[in-house]
Amino acid sequence: MLFRLDPERAHALSLSLLRLVGVLPPLRWTVSSTLSVGRGRPVEAFGLTFANAVGLAAGYDKDAVAWRGLACLGFGHVELGTVTPRPQTGNPRPRVFRLTGDRSLINRLGFPSRGADYVVRRLRPAARPHGVLVGVNLGKQRETPLERAADDYELLMRRLAPVADYLTVNVSSPNTPELRRLQHREWLGPLLRRLGEHRNALRDKLGRPLPLLVKLSPDLSDAELDSALAAIQDAGLDGVVATNTTTSRDGLASPLADETGGLSGAALSARSTSMVRRIARQTGGNLPIVASGGVMGPADAREKLDAGACLVQLYTGLIYEGPGLVSRILQELHPC
């Protein structure tokens, strides 16, 4: 039924249903007991203990409207956002396209967001579901010039640190003009050093760990990736999310392949795994990796963990495989 609807309308409907699951105890119990079979094993990563290795990738619940319902599916963590400092509408519609034959999506959303204040309100009022950690993905305002990007990220860190378990700096979306330039050597090093210092001050104020991660593009060359990893480690950051969506269209059969935007889903899986492997090799396994991109089933999750990731995240796989995917992955990763 959802696939009969426009992709963005279908997604909004799914979020509305999941929001109800999160706020109505009978629905919450029913979904949790039905789908959260086999919770997996705890994972220690960047100073936190995750209930299991499977999380929700940023982009699915941008404004924290359904995160409590999503937690009922069995996730060990949910990453919300991308959140911008102030509300913005993103790019014009249509901006999401299903490549059904390729089990993939193309989106050019461009960080539609209700803003940081809205997300803070959504995360504060009620008790957090047991055993689920919450990350927030941070993005600069569309009109903010690169020279002032650090101001946006610092503002977001101050607002969201009190209600998040970890934060992720998004410098890799292909749908915000010039954003990916922040991954280049001349921009990334100064940006991350400044954000790392700000994180340290916030961590001292909060009196608890505040891991800060960076989400990278799968389209970086080997030299660009090496430079980015050096900047991440020099700034003392805690981990990397690999990867964001890709602008590559290699191997696609869908007639919608020429749509502009970032490609996710099965067509991204091999590229994402390759990057996970490159990062693990380059850092000697000393930088925690969250693998995001093309996790469509248990085999994809296992492949990425074997390549060097400590956690995996789902987004497009959830759309194509349904809400039982989390439980299936956990059961096959850790059979009773």
For Cα atoms 138, 139, 141, give the angle at the middle one, nearest 5 degrees: 140
Enclosing H/E stretch for 235: none
- Which neighbouring-strand residues pair with 43? 50
For residue 274, what are the contacts with CB-CB under 8 A and spacing of at least 6?
none
Which of the following is catalytic: 14, 113, 172, 173? 173
Catalytic site includes residue 327: no
Q: Rounded distance, CA 323 to CA 139, Å?
A: 27
Q: Would you say the C-alpha torsion 35, 102, 89, 146 has a positive or negative sign?
A: positive
Tokens of 263: 């490609």
For residue 102, what are the contacts with CB-CB under 8 A and spacing of at least 6?
251, 252, 253, 254, 257, 265, 266, 267
Q: Position 172: which residue type?
A: S
Q: Rounded distance, CA 279 to CA 252, Å?
A: 26
The strand ranges marked E within the chain are 43-45, 48-50, 54-56, 77-83, 96-99, 104-107, 133-138, 166-170, 212-216, 239-242, 262-265, 289-292, 311-314
Which residue numbers are catalytic? 173
